[in-house]
Structure 1
Amino acid sequence: MTEIKDLERELSRFRGRLVAAALFVLLCFGLLAARLTWLQVVRHEELQTQAEANRIAVVPIVPNRGLIVDRNGLVLATNYSAYTLEITPSKVEAELDPMIDQLGALLEIQPRDRRRFKRLLEESKSFESLPIRTKLTDEEVARFMAQRFRFPGVDVRARLFRNYPEGEAASHLLGYIGRINAKEKAAMEEWDEETQGNYRGTDYIGKLGLEQSYERELHGITGFEEVETSAGGRAVRRLRSHPSTPGNTLVLSVDMRLQQLVERLYGDRRGALVALDPHTGEVLSFVSKPTFDPNLFVDGIDVDSWRELNESIDKPLLNRALRGLYPPGSTYKPFMALVGLATGKRTPQQGISDPGYFMFGNHRFRDDKEGGHGWVDMYRSIVHSCDTYYYVLASELGVDLMAEQLAPFGFGQLTGIDLEGEVKGILPSTSWKKRAYRKPEQQRWYAGETISLGIGQGYNSYTVLQMAQALGILATGGERHKPHLVREVVDVVHNTRRPVGKEPFEPVPIKPEHLAEIRRALVGVNVEGTSATAFRGAGYTSAGKTGTAQVVTIKQNEKYNAAKMAEHLRDHALYVAYAPADNPKIAVALVVENAGFGAQNAAPIARRIFDYWLMGLYPTEEDIAAVQQGQAPAPLKPPRRIADVAFRSAVPASAVVPAAASVPAAGSPIAVGPVGAVGRQPAGASR
């Protein structure tokens, strides 16, 4: 009996265990089924996408950067494809330096290549592909590919390179592109998602000039390719692709032949020049001398070249036309005369007797002509550039009235030109001085400081661009336009054109009778005044004003002697002019630094510009050489017709820009294959 009970108890216990085990197994299968349902049903699309992502790589296709051409179609910035040897540090199995040594035994790797690579390595992330050699020849590519298995993490890739065919010409207005640095990457993170996505795979952006200002227009729209990859990450086959859209073409208002002529006329001298159409604001020439070769920066400038440019006393990297600040000297006098008329402080016939100086307190403000100009009315004050006349006028006007009347001409204000980095300059006033200085004694305006403002000295400090805009307003009788370098933007895919900068601003009110007096005097300057020699025999009538501005203050009892001064401390030569006088088509403002008299060194450059633009004439080589030395006011020999001068032919944009780029971004698994201030110093005489 006892045995039966024990058996039943054991069977009951066994059944319980069996049920528990069965429930456990069912639970496990239930969990497994639930997990499978979760993975196969609920997360099916997500996991399928991940699986595809492990098998499929989406590679951005960087677009061809847009071209930049001048008004005649001459290509100033273009692209070409070349092979680069690149290293992805995160994929390198050995030490970097020994591996680079081994690469150097196979291909030529110069010390500057190593320095550039190390700099890029410090600025980039380890998983980025960095160039160690660029512009490989076909032979070098073949040599490396045969030994590729020895260098994991090293590959040859096809890249697009920017090229500036004209070299140093117009470098300050074109600018250049360069590799995106850490600071720029951080700034790009603030962009909207769409723009960030469009820059996937982009390693280079505009750094200066039009390349920077029109970056979004020039960049284009990034495309993509989907490729099937092996377990090792190599491309097996292309699944689908969406081509990139090339960047737009910038058509400039600048005439490159004129630009190069002006740069040649400057020679080795420093300075800046802006020529524009006063009726539209189109910039015809935008010169800053000395220049630099923007091609040096495209592939990463080497240390020696950077040191030479950055440490040069001539400051070739300074855009003098946009950022150089200069006292306008006597080129300011026509505007001062106009203020005198507008405020009723002067009439055209009213004059003074000029003894050759103006006394204010116990300080003698000298005129440039020893003994003075005698009796001087407004016409003679401009034609013969009488300083004393404007010392007296400035004293009567006062600094704040002058600032109020001159501000509408754009002095001391941004012009709004389509280049980044423009500076405002200084239009002096009592309120300006309070903002500019901290100490109360420095903030105070002294009456004696007003005197030299009348001749464009003292605190007056403007860019050549501002002077050109102001002259354009005067030449057109008050028309005011925003200066612009880009004439139109061309969509090369849809072949549409979008004009730039056509809308004028509110005009500056100038009474016709006042304008007529100033214009008459400006014509007199080029007919019988300080720049008459430069325009002798010209086939048109022009109007202008010379200027000579002191860089350093000369003591009251001393005379200026250029021969005894360091070259960088000598007077600047300035000139402003427009032509034809009765219907202006071009207005020019220029400065030749430390060159002395404007009539001798600046006006002759303007004469050749007007001959080119209005008459279709180009100076002879002998004449250009003489102008460079300040030895030829008027042309030495009859100039040539432009048609007889050999220039590089313009290339139509359509012949250079492909419909779409075909170069994948860095890091792509696609196999290698063919791919389509100058500082302002106060005081001094002005001529």
Structure 2
Amino acid sequence: MRRSPRESVDSARKVSRRALLLGGAQIGFGGLLALRMRYMQVDQADEFRLLAEENRINIRLIPPARGEVFDRHGMVIAKNEPSYRITIVREDAGDVDDVIRRLSALVELDEEELNRALAEMKRSAPFLPVTVADRVSWEAISRVAVNAPALPGITPEVGLSRQYPLGPDFAHVTGYVGPVSDYDLSKIEDPDQLLRIPRFQIGKVGLEAKLEEQLRGKAGAKRVEVNAVGRVMRELDRREGQAGANLQLTLDHRLQNYVQARLGQESAAAVVLDCNTGDILACASAPTFDPNLFVRGISVADYKGLTENPYRPLANKTVQGLYPPGSTFKMVTALAALDAGVVTPDETVYCRGHIEISNRRFHCWKRAGHGHVDLETSLRESCDVYYYDLAMRVGIENISAMAEQLGLSQRYDIPMSAVARGRAPTKAWKKETYDQDWVIGDTVNASIGQGYVLASPLQLAVMSARLATGRAVEPRLIKTIDGVEQPHRGGEALAVDEELLKQVRKAMFAVSNNRRGTAYRSRIIEDAFRMAGKTGTSQVRNITTAERARGVTSNKDLPWERRDHALFVDFAPYKSPKYAVAVVVEHGGGGSTVAAPIARDVTLQALYDGDPPLEAYPAADRSRIKAQQERLRRERPDLLSTARSRA
């Protein structure tokens, strides 16, 4: 059907209008795009150029070298060693299983570590390197490098790892490092970005943990160019970080090694202090462990063996262990009574083997009693009844105050884990802790270092040093930091009459040098080095009336965990004190038979700065000492030697 001319004109008019509207819309849209492009390319050019540069250039942290630890003579205790490792990048490897198979033909791979690496690869971005073998040998690294074309995605790398050259001997002091965990991060309010580097290591326990910030150092940085998916293309520049501080300890590695060897596999602890400076020369806890196991990643079996050992090798007994000090506490009670004027050195107390107090019988260790005893006799033969009597006269408040003045019940500021305060109980303490009133029996028990009284081996060594010098000696563990000498603390005179201290020292000398002294068999023969000391035996169980009637069961007939603790404290030489020593042997039995011989041997080792001559020992001990020295030399030929000069 043909359209009329009028219809054709109307149709043409409508098409032109639509074309005009559509064209206008297109022109308008194009104009908006042009304006937007101008805005982005001209007005915001600098901002987008910066964003593009930031996407192209990444800044990455460079871990600093951890500070090293040395003994007082410069022997390395904790150091950094080159650690070779092999990493894999999943994106570059392609068939990961095939590459791992080829790698295992060249390098022995630990199955547990490999499984951990495979699991980490699944969690990580495909371009991030994951360690599949750590601490591999240089030969293994060389084999991997030579076969690099056949190992896509595999890269041999070198870094620094912590090592403890002397192994177990300083484990409880230095502690160890390990990879940062989520728990570690949760304890830090604003964690250093270094801690977020995969497998970055920090101190876990001991000095490594307590001085983590000084040892860690400051991170460096490098600028790297990356592609669109974040892979590193090349390194543009770098700024090296600041290494951690080097620490020099007051410990003497040869003396420490000897003490650790002398304690052997006993559950024990020993501390040696310099009486003049408070420097800790040896601080050994036994049994010990190898801290290198934790750095490398301790196995489940090894860790279980440590945690399930009843001798608690992971605990640092020198500062964490709290024990009833037993008769080593008697000097405290004696000085409290002398200082308060309730007794004189020559005044006697009659011991018939026990004393009746509030319808309860308190026994002396000697069932038949000691008869009339004065201060010197009471310490020399360790009469308990003498101190029961003194305690009732002087009171617990005076005893506790004297204990604190002599260094007990104090938490010393030294960088070791879980340093315990100990306890010198008072009436207020018992009321606050147990909501109970103090009774006279509590005072009597405390007078001989039992009941609520607790002390660590370090505190007992400090007590011995203060008795020896009459000064408020404080222990020091850090000698220098980056070569800067650290100050000594304490040293002021005690608020005790020097004449009273002389009386107590004289009695301690009799303990070791009088034929009736409890430590006479463990005396030092050399006149210039004679020591003053005190034995201690602390009960860990109650002895019933029935058991006393039939005879107290011998320690050797009891299970190990029910035997008495053995203790000994001393200082030497008597006339010019140089070293103070404390030894605690858990469930060792008698202090005179177990702890005193160890303390005497340790004291002589410190005095002679090496193996003492046999003539320094009692004749009856010389064959045993000779055999002991030969055994220790065989076990540690590089650490035990004859006398040498101290630096």
With normalisation by structure 1, the TM-score equals: 0.81
Distance 1:202 1:220, change over 3 A: farther
After the TM superposition, which residues 40-59 of structure 1 pair with which residues of structure 2 at under 5 Å, given as runs?
Answer: 40-41=45-46, 43-44=47-48, 46-53=50-57, 57-59=58-60
1:160 maps to amino acid:
L
In the alignment, the residues of structure 2 paired with residue 422 and residue 244 of structure 1 have an alpha-carbon distance, to the nearest angstrom, of 33
In the alignment, the residues of structure 1 paired with residue 537 and residue 317 of structure 2 have an alpha-carbon distance, to the nearest angstrom, of 17
Q: In the alignment, which residue of structure 2 is the partner of 1:535?
A: 523
State the Cα distance separating 1:460 from its structure 2 match: 1.3
Whose helix proportion is higher, 1 or 2?
Answer: 2
State the Cα distance separating 1:411 from its structure 2 match: 2.0
Do 1:619 and 1:638's aligned partners in 2 also have CA atoms closer than 8 Å? no
Q: In the alignment, which residue of structure 2 is the partner of 1:85?
A: 86
1:50 maps to amino acid:
E
Are residues 1:607 and 2:600 paired?
A: yes
After the TM superposition, which residues 299-314 of structure 1 pair with which residues of structure 2 at under 5 Å, given as runs?
Answer: 299-314=296-311
Deviates more, 1:294-303 or 1:407-416: 407-416
Q: In the alignment, which residue of structure 1 is the partner of 2:536?
A: 547
In the alignment, the residues of structure 1 paired with residue 564 and residue 558 of structure 2 have an alpha-carbon distance, to the nearest angstrom, of 10
Are residues 1:63 and 2:64 paired?
A: yes
In the alignment, the residues of structure 2 paired with residue 576 and residue 389 of structure 1 have an alpha-carbon distance, to the nearest angstrom, of 20
After the TM superposition, which residues 267-282 of structure 1 pair with which residues of structure 2 at under 5 Å, given as runs?
Answer: 267-282=264-279
Q: In the alignment, which residue of structure 1 is the partner of 2:32?
A: 27
Distance 1:137 1:396, change over 3 A: same
In the alignment, the residues of structure 1 paired with residue 497 and residue 25 of structure 2 have an alpha-carbon distance, to the nearest angstrom, of 108
**Match for 1:473 among 451, 454, 466?**
466
Q: In the alignment, which residue of structure 2 is the partner of 1:521?
A: 507
**Match for 1:350 among 339, 347, 358?**
347
Q: In the alignment, which residue of structure 2 is the partner of 1:263?
A: 260
Are residues 1:37 and 2:20 paired?
A: no
1:133 maps to amino acid:
A
State the Cα distance separating 1:534 from its structure 2 match: 1.8
Are residues 1:574 and 2:575 paired?
A: no
In the alignment, the residues of structure 2 paired with residue 87 and residue 51 of structure 1 have an alpha-carbon distance, to the nearest angstrom, of 24
2:454 maps to amino acid:
S
After the TM superposition, which residues 652-667 of structure 1 pair with which residues of structure 2 at under 5 Å, given as runs?
Answer: none
Do 1:162 and 1:298's aligned partners in 2 also have CA atoms closer than 8 Å? yes
1:25 maps to amino acid:
G
In the alignment, the residues of structure 1 paired with residue 290 and residue 15 of structure 2 have an alpha-carbon distance, to the nearest angstrom, of 99
% of aligned pairs identical?
A: 32
2:564 maps to amino acid:
D
In the alignment, the residues of structure 1 paired with residue 19 and residue 101 of structure 2 have an alpha-carbon distance, to the nearest angstrom, of 75
State the Cα distance separating 1:265 from its structure 2 match: 1.4
Do 2:322 and 2:422's aligned partners in 1 also have CA atoms closer than 8 Å? yes
In the alignment, the residues of structure 1 paired with residue 264 and residue 422 of structure 2 have an alpha-carbon distance, to the nearest angstrom, of 27
In the alignment, the residues of structure 2 paired with residue 118 and residue 401 of structure 1 have an alpha-carbon distance, to the nearest angstrom, of 65
Q: In the alignment, which residue of structure 1 is the partner of 2:576?
A: 583
Deviates more, 1:605-614 or 1:422-431: 605-614
State the Cα distance separating 1:142 from its structure 2 match: 5.1
Do 1:112 and 1:303's aligned partners in 2 also have CA atoms closer than 8 Å? no
Are residues 1:191 and 2:190 paired?
A: yes
Distance 1:516 1:620, change over 3 A: closer
State the Cα distance separating 1:620 from its structure 2 match: 7.7
In the alignment, the residues of structure 2 paired with residue 306 and residue 136 of structure 1 have an alpha-carbon distance, to the nearest angstrom, of 23
State the Cα distance separating 1:321 from its structure 2 match: 0.5
In the alignment, the residues of structure 2 paired with residue 207 and residue 608 of structure 1 have an alpha-carbon distance, to the nearest angstrom, of 33
**Match for 1:316 among 306, 313, 317?**
313
Do 1:116 and 1:302's aligned partners in 2 also have CA atoms closer than 8 Å? no
Distance 1:199 1:400, change over 3 A: same
SS of residue in 2 equivalent to 1:173: helix
State the Cα distance separating 1:546 from its structure 2 match: 1.1
2:467 maps to amino acid:
L
In the alignment, the residues of structure 1 paired with residue 121 and residue 428 of structure 2 have an alpha-carbon distance, to the nearest angstrom, of 50
After the TM superposition, which residues 40-439 of structure 1 pair with which residues of structure 2 at under 5 Å, given as runs?
Answer: 40-41=45-46, 43-44=47-48, 46-53=50-57, 57-86=58-87, 104=104, 107-114=107-114, 130-141=130-141, 144=144, 155-188=155-188, 190-191=189-190, 195-196=192-193, 203-229=200-226, 235-437=232-434
In the alignment, the residues of structure 2 paired with residue 505 and residue 616 of structure 1 have an alpha-carbon distance, to the nearest angstrom, of 25
State the Cα distance separating 1:303 from its structure 2 match: 0.6
**Match for 1:489 among 465, 473, 481?**
481
Q: In the alignment, which residue of structure 2 is the partner of 1:657?
A: none
Distance 1:243 1:278, change over 3 A: same
Q: Residue by residue, what CA displacement relative to the aligned partner does 1:515-571 show, whole Å, maximum 9, x if unpaired? A: 121122122222212223322412323221111112222223241412320123222
Q: Residue by residue, what CA displacement relative to the aligned partner does 1:119-149 show, whole Å, maximum 9, x if unpaired? A: 9899x97787554422223454455567778
Are residues 1:597 and 2:594 paired?
A: no
1:390 maps to amino acid:
Y
SS of residue in 2 equivalent to 1:595: coil
SS of residue in 2 equivalent to 1:412: coil
Q: Residue by residue, what CA displacement relative to the aligned partner does 1:586-612 show, whole Å, maximum 9, x if unpaired? A: 111111222222222222223233323
Q: In the alignment, which residue of structure 1 is the partner of 2:3?
A: none
SS of residue in 1 equivalent to 2:187: helix
Q: Structure 1: which 5+ runs fail to align?
A: 491-496, 651-687
2:592 maps to amino acid:
A
In the alignment, the residues of structure 1 paired with residue 231 and residue 193 of structure 2 have an alpha-carbon distance, to the nearest angstrom, of 27
SS of residue in 2 equivalent to 1:614: helix
In the alignment, the residues of structure 2 paired with residue 167 and residue 552 of structure 1 have an alpha-carbon distance, to the nearest angstrom, of 36
In the alignment, the residues of structure 2 paired with residue 328 and residue 318 of structure 1 have an alpha-carbon distance, to the nearest angstrom, of 19
In the alignment, the residues of structure 2 paired with residue 533 and residue 549 of structure 1 have an alpha-carbon distance, to the nearest angstrom, of 20
2:472 maps to amino acid:
E
In the alignment, the residues of structure 1 paired with residue 114 and residue 407 of structure 2 have an alpha-carbon distance, to the nearest angstrom, of 49
State the Cα distance separating 1:324 from its structure 2 match: 0.9
Do 2:86 and 2:134's aligned partners in 1 also have CA atoms closer than 8 Å? yes
In the alignment, the residues of structure 2 paired with residue 638 and residue 271 of structure 1 have an alpha-carbon distance, to the nearest angstrom, of 18
State the Cα distance separating 1:17 from its structure 2 match: 7.1
Q: In the alignment, which residue of structure 1 is the partner of 2:644?
A: none
In the alignment, the residues of structure 2 paired with residue 233 and residue 17 of structure 1 have an alpha-carbon distance, to the nearest angstrom, of 45
User: How many pairs does the alignment contain?
Assistant: 625
In the alignment, the residues of structure 2 paired with residue 85 and residue 623 of structure 1 have an alpha-carbon distance, to the nearest angstrom, of 56
State the Cα distance separating 1:319 from its structure 2 match: 0.7
Distance 1:28 1:275, change over 3 A: same
Do 1:62 and 1:223's aligned partners in 2 also have CA atoms closer than 8 Å? yes
State the Cα distance separating 1:435 from its structure 2 match: 3.2
Are residues 1:509 and 2:509 paired?
A: no
Relative contact order (C-alpha < 8 Å, sep 6+): which is higher?
A: 1
Q: In the alignment, which residue of structure 2 is the partner of 1:675?
A: none
Distance 1:373 1:100, change over 3 A: farther
In the alignment, the residues of structure 2 paired with residue 94 and residue 395 of structure 1 have an alpha-carbon distance, to the nearest angstrom, of 83
In the alignment, the residues of structure 1 paired with residue 92 and residue 562 of structure 2 have an alpha-carbon distance, to the nearest angstrom, of 57
Do 2:177 and 2:208's aligned partners in 1 also have CA atoms closer than 8 Å? yes
In the alignment, the residues of structure 1 paired with residue 487 and residue 119 of structure 2 have an alpha-carbon distance, to the nearest angstrom, of 40
State the Cα distance separating 1:233 from its structure 2 match: 5.6
Distance 1:89 1:302, change over 3 A: farther
Deviates more, 1:583-592 or 1:7-16: 7-16
Do 1:623 and 1:636's aligned partners in 2 also have CA atoms closer than 8 Å? no
Distance 1:389 1:126, change over 3 A: farther
State the Cα distance separating 1:75 from its structure 2 match: 0.8
Do 2:254 and 2:640's aligned partners in 1 also have CA atoms closer than 8 Å? no
1:179 maps to amino acid:
P
What is the RMSD computed on CA atoms of the aligned residues?
3.9
Distance 1:288 1:300, change over 3 A: same
Distance 1:649 1:151, change over 3 A: farther
Q: Residue by residue, what CA displacement relative to the aligned partner does 1:73-121 show, whole Å, maximum 9, x if unpaired? A: 111111111222346789997799x987786566433344357658989
Deviates more, 1:197-206 or 1:361-370: 197-206
State the Cα distance separating 1:183 from its structure 2 match: 0.6
